[in-house]
Each structure stands twice: as structure tokens, then as C-alpha cells.
Amino acid sequence: MAEKLLEIKNLHAEVDGKEILKGLDLEIKKGEVHVIMGPNGAGKSTLVNIIMGHPKYEVTEGTIVFEGEDITELKTDERARKGIFLSFQAPEEIPGITVESFLRGARSAITGKPLKIMAFKKELKEIMEQLKIDESYAQRYLNVGFSGGEKKKNEILQMMMLNPKLAILDETDSGLDIDAVKIVSNGVKEFKNEENAIVIITHNSKILEFLKADYVHVVQDGKIVKVGDSSLINEINEKGFANIAAV
């Protein structure tokens, strides 16, 4: 049986004194692809930011266990070192830091080991080729002047270079044209193996035509109201979220 990677129990969380997550459970095993769907404002981004340890959110009840260890109180950088990665819904521009230097910094911070520069550069070049990102982008400032689609592809580049155990993609496919969705999906497929797991938050069922989801969760009002296999996506597309929760 596959090993448990992440286990969330009865998670309640607040932001600025407002309760957003209202008792959420989620279990992810190695080798699995999980999709999270749900209407705007349901709490999807809140959930994944809390998994990553964003300081803005306060966990008021419940636990987050990663590889058997309670990480509920750990800081974001500690979680990253344990192998959790979150791609942002709206990646920030960072003038003064190039894509390559950012990735080098992130890689050494996460592994805690000195970088083998030549091997790193070779790996970066290969992954950029695979994602169809022009080589010149390695020396450009992170996300500065990147189109929406380029920012999203760059998030996938980060994921592939950092090779986390749990990769969480928050609407990484939104704003991508169909060719870019294919490239990103192929990148994710390449990344996926029996030792890691992926959580994808999406409104776009296109990416799910390229990637097989093991579980689909519907989040509404801070709770998971329905779990199914990939056939749930068709049901959602037909019925809409408003009619999906009725048990």
C-alpha cells in the first residue's frame, strides 16, 4: 500500500478574524494526483497557503501531518525543506533577481548542500527546453515583464527544478493558451512518479484531459463537500457547483 504523504484532520482556519476553513479533512498518498475544485471564494487558495504555512492564516483547530510528522506549527521555509512546494495563483515580479539565480538560491536553501553549478545549468537548460521557455529567460529578472502564461510556465520550471515530494499548483493553468496547457501538463506528467504527489486547483477541465486525476474534491464554504474520481469533473461541468453537494 502506498505511503501516506499528507494528512489533514478537522482543519479550521481564520484570516483577519474571519473563519474561512470550517473542518476540512484531506489525505494524500504517494503516487496520487488530487484535483481541488470549487466556486470562487470557497477556500481553495486558503487551504493550500495553510499547507505551505503562510503566516497570514491562523489555524484554530486541527492538524496537518506530513510524512508522519505534525507540521502544523512549522514555518514556510521548514516545510519547503521537507519537500512541499506551492505555485502561486498570481506569481510576483522580483526585479533584480534573475530566474537562474532565484532557482539556484531556492535549490541550495532546500537541499542545504552546495550547488554543482555545471550540472545545475545543464539541468535548467533541459527543463527549459522541455517547457519551451527560451534560454534567454534564465537571465531575465523573475517574472518582470513576463506574460501571464510565461509566469505560469515559470512556476512549473521551479517545481521541476526543486523536485518536491508534494507539489501544489494553484490555478497554474488559468490564463494559458491550449498549447501552453499541453506543455505544462506534459511537464507535470514528467515530474510525477510513485514517490511524489500533486494537488491541482483548477477551474479548467482542459488540463485534466492530459492528466489523470485519482481524486477530485469539491470545496464549498471551507469544507470538502464531495470526493470522487475523475468522473466527478464531468458531473460538475454538467450540474455546476450549486447542485453537486446535495447528498
Instruction: Kindly list the residues in this chain that would bind Mg ion in the complex (CB under 5 A).
Output: 44-45
Residue 46 interaction partner, one of ligand ADP, Mg ion, none, beta carbon < 5-8 Å per kind? ligand ADP
Task: Determine which residue in the list 26, 38, 52, 168 makes contact with ligand ADP, applying CB under 6 A.
Answer: 38
Least CB distance to ligand ADP at residue 29 (A) = 24
Secondary element (H or E) of residue 166:
strand 166-170
Residue 199 interaction partner, one of Mg ion, ligand ADP, none, beta carbon < 5-8 Å per kind? none
In the bound state with ligand ADP, the residue whose beta carbon lies nearer, of 20 and 216, is 20
Grid coordinates representing 134 are: 527560451
DSSP tag of 46: H
55 binds ligand ADP (CB under 6 A): no
Whether the CB-CB separation of 164 and 83 falls below 8 Å is answered with yes
> Alpha-carbon distance 49 to 70, whole Å?
16
> Alpha-carbon distance 168 to 52, whole Å?
9
Whether the CB-CB separation of 33 and 211 falls below 8 Å is answered with yes
59 binds ligand ADP (CB under 6 A): no
Least CB distance to Mg ion at residue 92 (A) = 15
42 binds ligand ADP (CB under 6 A): yes
18 binds ligand ADP (CB under 6 A): yes
In the bound state with ligand ADP, the residue whose beta carbon lies nearer, of 6 and 124, is 6
Q: Does the CA dihedral 175-178-183-184 come out positive or negative? A: positive
Grid coordinates representing 236 are: 460538475
Site residues for ligand ADP per CB under 6 A: 15-16, 18, 20, 38, 40-46
